[in-house]
Amino acid sequence: MATLSDPWFVEDQVFLRADEPQHAVRLPSPPTLMRQDGGPPAAQLTLFIYPEPPPGDFPGGGAVLSLALDFGAPAPGIEEREPALPPEVREVDGPIHAPGTVRLYFGGTQLARAPVPAGFRPVVPLAATLDTTQAVLLRETMQRGMSGPLYAVAEGAIVVRLDGPEAAVEIDLGRVKQAMPADRDLPAAEAAEALHDLVADGALRLETTAASLSEPARLLCLAAAAERLFEPAATMQPWVVVPGWSSCPRNAALRLRPDLDDRAVRVRVGRDHETTLPWFAAAPIDLPVGALQQWRLPGWGARGARTTA
Does residue 42 have a pLDDT over 90?
yes
Q: Is the pLDDT of residue 307 over 90?
A: no
CB-based contacts of 159, cutoff 8 Å, min separation 6:
1, 2, 95, 96, 97, 98, 274, 275, 276
Angle at 13 between CA 7 and CA 17, to 5 degrees: 25
pLDDT for the residue 309: 46
Task: State the chain's mean pLDDT as an integer.
Answer: 87
Q: Would you tell me the crossing angle of helices 215-229 and 188-201 to the nearest 10 degrees?
A: 110
- Quick one: average pLDDT of 192-211? 91
Between the alpha carbon of residue 203 and those of residues 86, 174, 194, 225, 289, the distances in Å are: 37, 9, 11, 11, 50
Reply yes or no on whether the pLDDT at 302 is more than 70.
no
The reported pLDDT for the residue numbered 162 is 85
Answer for the pair 19, 95: CB distance below 8 angstroms, yes or no. no
Q: What is the pLDDT at residue 300? A: 54
Q: How far apart are CA 295 and CA 61, in angstroms?
A: 10
Pairing of strands 204-208, 167-172: antiparallel
Separation of alpha carbons 27 and 234, rounded Å: 18
Sign of CA dihedral 212, 217, 218, 224: negative
Q: Which whole number is the average pLDDT over 187-206?
A: 94
Sign of CA dihedral 270, 29, 150, 68: negative
pLDDT digits (tens, 9 = 90+) for 241-290: 999 998 888 899 999 999 899 999 999 887 656 789 999 999 999 999 99
Return the amino acid letter for 82. Answer: E
Q: Is 219 helix (H, G, I), strand (E, B) or coil?
A: helix
pLDDT (tens digit per residue) in 67-122: 999 998 877 777 788 888 988 899 999 999 999 999 999 998 999 999 999 999 99
Mark out the alpha helices in 144-182 (DSSP H runs).
173-179
Amino acid at 302: A
How much of the chain exceeds pLDDT 70, in percent?
A: 91
Distance from C-alpha of 204 to C-alpha of 196, rounded to nearest angstrom: 9
CA-atom Rg of the chain in angstroms = 24
The enclosing H or E element of 167 equals strand 167-172
Burial readout 115-126 (b: 16 or more C-beta within 10 A, e: otherwise): ebeeeebbebeb
Tell me the whole-structure pTM to 2 decimals.
0.89
The pLDDT tens digits for 129-160 are 999 889 989 999 999 888 879 999 999 999 99
DSSP helix/strand/coil, 97:
strand
Q: Over 80: is that where the pLDDT of 215 sits? A: yes
Domain layout of the chain by residue ranges = 1-159+282-301, 164-271
